[in-house]
Chain A
Amino acid sequence: MSRRTNLIWGLGAALAFTLPLVGVNAYHLDVLTTALLYAILALGLNLIVGLTGVLHLGYAAFFGIGAYTYALLNLHAGWPFWLGWIPAALVAGLCGAALGLPALRVRGDYLAIVTLGFGEIARIACLNLARWTGGPNGLLGIAHPALAWPGGPRLDFGVASAPYYYLALLAVLMVGGLCVRLIRSRVGRAWAALRDDELAAACAGIPVLQLKLLAQGIGGAIAGIAGAIFAAKQGTITPDSFDFILSVMLLAMVVLGGLGSVRGAIIGALALGTLPELLRGMEQYRMLVFGLAMIVMMRLRPEGFFGKARGLTGGSRGP
């Protein structure tokens, strides 16, 4: 990244950090926190779609898996958030890699069915495993995070808005930084190579399946982190927070921002995450405007704001 883009990101982050201090009200902070959680999710989904070409229609399930993992560990074993997000990421990541195996074997319509089916099965399983998940009522009383210094002051996040906003902001910066580093590494270059030409990449010694599963796993783990933050913030989770509509929204964010682009994923998520609030006056037309915006975008700039020109259809030729 050039100096200038570094500067722009630095300024953007600094501005974001000062927002709660300049009197942005709690409601707006909550909206922004949600948009930031979308940004984390979009970053993870971007790894899956942008790097392995799997157009995932059930990604919200990993978000849910992360949320329930943290919630269950917290409720049954008393794990605090600061530890609980780690198994949440691991479990969601394992699920991501496990689903990758069947997802990478099918294409087109079948792929849509496999991923969409996975998302719905996860949600319905959650509804029916009431003994563990509380069924449609969900899980209540998940502990909010707290920061405590030994013998010093203690900050309970509670139901305040600003702490979660900062937590989500920090998570976006860290996950975004991680994605940039991965994409620019040896493994990231291999991902780009197999997206350009899978056969040529394989003949250069790149283990195609292994790297694709890795991307799917990391994508799942990132959603798991977002899920743990969400559960810690809400204190209550129910299966309908992780439904198909969310998966589609996330996909729209990634496509809007530009597949494979880290800043695209973040900006796409912030734009679409706050848009519904900006359009609040026209409640019943919100989804309509949203849909129109997507169609116009696909006509004018199908590669997204920051994507390279290849997009969804770019990819591999046969032998």
Chain B
Amino acid sequence: MPQPLLAIRELSKRFGGVHALEGVALDVAEGQTAGLIGPNGAGKTTLFNCVTGVLRPDQGAIRFGREGGEELVGLAPHQVAQRGIARTFQNIRLFAGMTALENVVVGTYLRTHAGLLSAALRLPEARREETWARERAMGLLARVGLADCAGQPASTLPFGWQRRLEIARALASDPSLLLLDEPAAGLNATEKQELLLLLRQLKTQGLAMLLIEHDMQVVMGVCQRVVVLDYGRVIAQGAPGEVQRDPRVIEAYLGAPAAA
């Protein structure tokens, strides 16, 4: 296996009596698309929250980057983002007061530098940078098929479009790892196909992704490797086809019929 870009070891997180994560180990290699599946409440979103600094794990190590990487535990969310990890949210979290375009422009924050002084004096660099950020954001909107609603308030977009807008915002920071939390949830069949196409494109470009998803068609269609969580533990991992036939995985899903 190639060198891991993200290496999680012994990761544990409790909420009161609930063990949301218990001794989880997980690797994502450079350029790899890994799937993270498991019934509802298995701890998938909690894992994303620990990686991105939103939650502090009780135990464990999360290393990210080339040549052994850097420890992420203890960093604030914006510091994790600076290291090159972007994410989307299971319950979409757009900037509701802004247009679609502005949402994506905010995503370029880490790729731009204008400070207060250049803004106050409206220096040419700041204006050039602003134009650059808008063009980049327009390009990303076009990529996710939202070029026509650039000026619309984000909160008025249909649900499936909001999901795509979130992906565009995440891509705007030019991350080296993208964490997607159930991007296909609530999408219709056509939208799922479009999403699959987009994810494959990103994969071809060499972007590493970790994908939480219930829709096995999407998982099978893009993931090279799948890790299965149940009650906070890794119960299986491997190629998508193998994992799907694994009796422990089948049992975990049958034991929790609420999960699709």
Q: Which residues of A contact B (CB under 8 A)?
A: 178, 181-182, 184-190, 192-193, 195-197, 199-208, 214, 218, 308, 310, 314, 317, 319
Partner of B81, one of A184, A203, A319: A203
> Which A residues touch B122, using CB under 8 A?
181
* Chain B, residue nearest A260 (CB): B97
Tell whether B86 is near chain A: CB-to-CB under 8 Å.
Answer: yes
Question: Bound complex: CA of A308 vs CA of B93, how far in Å?
Answer: 19
Q: Is the CB of B106 within 8 A of A204?
A: yes
Query: Bound state CA distance, A186 and B132, in angstroms?
Result: 12
List the count of A-B residue pairs having beta carbons below 8 Å apart. Answer: 102
Chain A: interface secondary structure? helix
Partner of B106, one of A189, A310, A319: A189
Contacts of B33 in A (CB 8 A): none
Identify the stretch in B110-118, B186-194, B200-208, B241-249 within 8 Å (CB) of chain A at 4 or more residues: B110-118
30 cross-chain CB contacts under 8 A:
A181-B119, A182-B120, A185-B116, A185-B130, A186-B133, A188-B119, A189-B105, A189-B106, A190-B106, A190-B109, A193-B98, A195-B97, A196-B96, A196-B98, A197-B95, A200-B94, A201-B95, A202-B53, A204-B86, A204-B106, A204-B110, A205-B78, A205-B109, A206-B78, A206-B109, A207-B78, A208-B78, A308-B97, A310-B97, A314-B97
CB of B142 closer than 8 Å to a CB of A: no
Q: A-B pairs with the 3 shortest C-beta distances?
A: A185-B119, A205-B81, A202-B77
Interface size on B, residues (CB 8 A): 40
Judge if B173 is at the interface, Cβ distance under 8 Å. yes
CA–CA, A199 and B95, complex, Å:
10
Nearest A residue (CB) for B130: A186
B253 within 8 A of A: no
Given A186-B119, A193-B106: A203 and B86 interface contact (C-beta under 8 Å): yes
CA distance A318 to B87 in the complex (A): 16
- B114 near A186 (CB under 8 angstroms)? yes
Q: Which of B53, B80, B106, B126 makes the CB contact (< 8 A) with A201?
A: B106
Question: Which listed residue (A184, A218, A319) contacts B55, Cβ 8 A?
Answer: A319
Residue of A196, A197, A199 with most chain B CB atoms under a 10 A cut-off: A196
- Which residues of B are found within 8 Å of A188, using beta-carbon distances? 119
A204 & B97 in contact (Cβ 8 Å cutoff): no
Cβ of B82 < 8 Å from any Cβ of A? yes
Q: Is B169 an interface residue (CB 8 A)?
A: yes
